Amino acid sequence: MDRQQEITFAEMRDMGVLGLLVYCADYRCSHSIAISGDGWPDDVRLSDIEGRFVCQACGKRGADVRPDFNWNRQPIRQMGYLRGPAKRPTTEAALSQFRRAGI
């Protein structure tokens, strides 16, 4: 079964969204991170970069990448946990993860 292609970065930016939520492809891991999406060109689709991520918690390659519609809001506490990181990594930090993965 083929996955539907997701929106491009240009379409995401047109909606006013600048952040990304990246979830590990292994549902048992449930590791996630919020990052900036400003380092990718406008014509790239979110689905195009999913295979480039390697989970830093379990080591599995692949991710589910989605727009972070709350990218400009402060993290809030829910059930004793802080939702999202207090400071999002820069695009350079995210790209360094690609280089470490050998991509």
Residue 49 banded pLDDT, cuts 50, 70, 90? very high
Quick one: the chain helix, strand, coil %, rounded to 5? Answer: 20, 25, 55
Residue 69 banded pLDDT, cuts 50, 70, 90? confident
The per-residue DSSP string of the chain comes to: -PPPP--BHHHHHHTT--EEEEEES-TTT--EEEEE-TTS-TT-BHHHHGGG-B-TTT--B-EEEEEETTTTSPP-EETTEESS-SSPPPHHHHHHHHHHTT-
- Convert the pLDDT of each residue in 8-28 to its tens digit: 999 999 999 989 999 999 988
Q: What is the reported pLDDT for 73?
A: 74
